[in-house]
Structure 1
């Protein structure tokens, strides 16, 4: 069986991303904990729906499940940075034909950007320029 590359990794749905966000923020946890955070932060979600979705996420390889205790503990199968990088790469490729500059110009054109945000972007650009030399 061939090993799956990052390009073959399944892309999480919006609901799956909400679950991943909870686990990235709070660390490995139970379905009940994740469901409670979703109900606090996002929207009303039934426990059974969260359980089923997390089971599907294990099957898809998005979550790992520790069954060594009575209450199963779930954790993300991939680091937050890696997952967000993969999703961002796919987004830039599909919507902006792989052009990061087109994405940045579009963002800056459509959003009100504060002076502090512009300064931070300038810093990142300068750092990136130095790193490329």
Structure 2
């Protein structure tokens, strides 16, 4: 059975976003990269320490300033959060999510083409799987 990944809080997601964009960074670098941070440096440090304890980040302690890096890829975290969101808000139905999203926001031609390509790929894969 797959180990369940820790679910990051909003504040933790903000720090993870910095680490995903910048790569390994010190607390100061993460703090300085936060957009309009209302939190202080020590709050950023404390959150990163908690994230380390939860397994959301790794920490390199070989230098005076510890360097933090995301322990989980952005895509993996996005999939986990999206699965949870679809389960809680859309009764587990990805179709309901997509229909709601597309009915509320105008999709660009590029977005629609990418969605069609994904659907075609899923349909082809599903068709092959059902023939096995």
**TM tier relative to shorter chain:** 0.7 to 0.9
When the two chains are superposed, the root-mean-square deviation of aligned CA atoms in Å is 1.7
Structure 1 position 84, deviation (Å): 1.1
Q: Deviations over 1:9-30 (max 9, x none)?
A: 3211111001001111111110
TM-score when scaled to structure 1? 0.87
Say if 1:12 and 1:123 are closer, same or farther in 2 by CA, change over 3 A.
same
Q: Residue 29 of structure 1 aligns with which residue?
A: 25
Q: Residue 119 of structure 1 aligns with which residue?
A: 113
2:39 equivalent among 45, 69, 86: 45
Gaps of 5+ in 1: none
Q: Deviations over 1:39-72 (max 9, x none)?
A: xx35333111101111111111111111111110
The number of residues matched between the two structures is 127
Conservation of the 8 A alpha-carbon contact between 2:24 and 2:68: yes
TM-score when scaled to structure 2? 0.88
Q: Residue 77 of structure 1 aligns with which residue?
A: 71
Say if 1:4 and 1:104 are closer, same or farther in 2 by CA, change over 3 A.
closer
1:129 equivalenced with 2:123 (yes/no): yes
Aligned to 1:71, what secondary structure does the other structure show? Answer: coil
